Amino acid sequence: MNTSWDILKILSDPTRLRLIALVMQEELSVAELQEILGMGQSRISSQLALLRQASLVADRRDGKKAFYSLRPNLPPEQHALLRAAVSSVSGLEVIEEDGRHLERVLVKRRRVSEQYFNMIAGRLGRNHCPGRSWEAIGRLALRLVPPVVVADLGAGEGLISQLLARNAKQVWCIDNSPRMVEVGTELARKNDLTNLTYKLGDIEQVPLADGSVDLAILSQALHHARHPQKAVDEAFRILRPGGQLLILELAEHDFEKARELYADLWLGFKETALEQFLKKAKFTKIEVTPVAKEAVEPHFETLLATGTKP
C-alpha cells in the first residue's frame, strides 16, 4: 500500500492521524502512546499494526518494549502528504493536547535518568558502573595530546576529566544531573583544577559554541541518550576542524536489569551501529575497536570508537 490514495484512506481515521503526528516528533513506546492518547493498549496496537502494514511507521524491539517511529526514508511525496495531513489538524484542541501530553512523557523520561544520577552522585568511584573499567579509561586517556580544549559529554562526576585537566588547556564537563554538576564542581575545587568547569546541559544539546573544542569524549554516556545520533552530531558541531571524538561505549548485550540498575536506555551498541553514528555525522578516519571485557557476569565488553572532524 503505497499510493497517495491509499495513504489518504489510512489517515482518514482520527486515531491513526494522531499517532502519525506523534511519531513524526519522537520514537515512542506503546505504553507512552497509551499515556499520551488515554487509550487502551489493544486499540493503539491495532492502529499501529495498520500503519506498519501501510509502511508508514517502523517498529523496534528493545527488550520487552516495542517502540514506534515514522518509517525512515519515506518517498518524498509520501512524507509531504503526511506533513500536510498533520499540518491540517495542528490547530485542533485534541492535537494540541496530545502535544502537551507528549512533552510530559518526555520530561518523565529525563527525570528517570536524572533521579538515578542524582542518587548515585558522590558514589560513582566506589560503585560498579558497566564498562567504566580503569583499563578502558586508561586506553582512552593515552590517546590524548595536550594541551587541548576538551569536552567531556555526559561527564558524571568527571573522573576522566579530573585526569585530563592535569595537562589540558581547558576541560568542559557537561552533565544533565544538577547533583552531578554540584559534586563535580566541588571535586574540581578541592583538587585545585581551575581549568575544569562544569556546565548543566544535555549531550543532545550541548551548551558550547560551534567549533570550540579540540577533543570531545562520550564515555559510557551514549547508552543514556534518547537519540544517540543527535549526541554524536552535537559532538561534531562543537569540534574544531581536525578535532577528534572518542567514544567509550558498551558493546551490545542482553543484561536487561541494566535499565533498572543503571538507568540505561540502550543495551549497548554493535560496532557497526557506532560506525554508522560517526559516518552519518560526517566524521572521517573512523575506527571502532573492542578494548576491554569484564571477567565477571554479565561480561560487559567495552568498545572504543574514534573519528576526526574534517
pLDDT number for residue 240: 97
Peptide linkage before 75 cis (omega within 30 of 0): no
3-state helix, strand, coil in the chain (%, to 5): 45, 25, 35
Q: How many domains are there within the chain?
A: 2
Report yes or no on 282 lying in a domain.
Answer: yes
Q: In this structure, what CATH number is given to the domain that contains residue 141?
A: 3.40.50.150
pLDDT number for residue 140: 63
Smallest CA-to-CA distance from 31 within 23, 20, 39 is with 39
Are the beta carbons of 246 and 222 closer than 8 angstroms? no
Q: In this structure, what CATH number is given to the domain that contains residue 8?
A: 1.10.10.10
DSSP code, position 222: G
3-class DSSP state of 72: coil
Question: 75 and 171 share a domain?
Answer: no
3-class DSSP state of 277: helix
Smallest CA-to-CA distance from 281 within 261, 300, 308, 254 is with 308
Which bin fits 38, alpha (ψ -120 to 50), beta or left (φ > 0)? left
Question: 99 and 161 share a domain?
Answer: no
Class of residue 299 by CB neighbours under 10 A (exposed 0-12, middle 13-18, buried 19+): exposed
Question: 88 and 143 share a domain?
Answer: no
3-class DSSP state of 248: strand
**What is the C-alpha to C-alpha distance for residues 268 and 88, in angstroms, rounded to an integer?**
40
pLDDT number for residue 179: 92
Report yes or no on 124 lying in a domain.
Answer: no
Question: 144 and 278 share a domain?
Answer: yes
Q: How far apart are the first and last CA of the chain?
A: 42
Report yes or no on 126 lying in a domain.
Answer: no
Report yes or no on 116 lying in a domain.
Answer: no
Note the pTM of the prediction, 2 decimals.
0.66
Question: 96 and 141 share a domain?
Answer: no
Question: 267 and 145 share a domain?
Answer: yes
Q: Using the 3D structure, point to which of 77, 111, 145 is the last residue of a domain.
A: 111
Question: 156 and 270 share a domain?
Answer: yes
Amino acid (1-letter code) at residue 288: V
Report yes or no on 198 lying in a domain.
Answer: yes
pLDDT number for residue 310: 97
Report yes or no on 285 lying in a domain.
Answer: yes
For 203-258, the pLDDT digits (tens) are 999 999 999 999 999 999 999 999 999 999 999 999 999 999 999 999 999 999 99
Sign of CA dihedral 256, 257, 262, 263: positive
- Domain span holding position 14: 4-111
The answer for residues whose C-beta is within 8 angstroms of residue 103's C-beta and 6 or more apart is none
Question: 155 and 233 share a domain?
Answer: yes
Question: 145 and 191 share a domain?
Answer: yes
Distances (CA, A) of 25 to 19, 21, 44, 103, 170: 10, 7, 17, 10, 36
Question: Strands 149-153 and 170-175: what pairing?
Answer: parallel
Sign of CA dihedral 183, 185, 187, 190: negative
Question: 75 and 10 share a domain?
Answer: yes
pLDDT number for residue 107: 82
Amino acid (1-letter code) at residue 56: L
Report yes or no on 120 lying in a domain.
Answer: no
pLDDT number for residue 142: 43
Report the chain's mean pLDDT, rounded to a whole number.
Answer: 88
Mean pLDDT by 10 residues, the chain (310 residues): 79 94 94 92 94 93 87 90 93 93 86 66 56 56 70 88 85 94 90 92 97 96 95 98 96 92 92 95 94 88 95
DSSP code, position 91: T
Question: 144 and 256 share a domain?
Answer: yes
pLDDT number for residue 252: 95
Report yes or no on 148 lying in a domain.
Answer: yes
Question: 36 and 89 share a domain?
Answer: yes
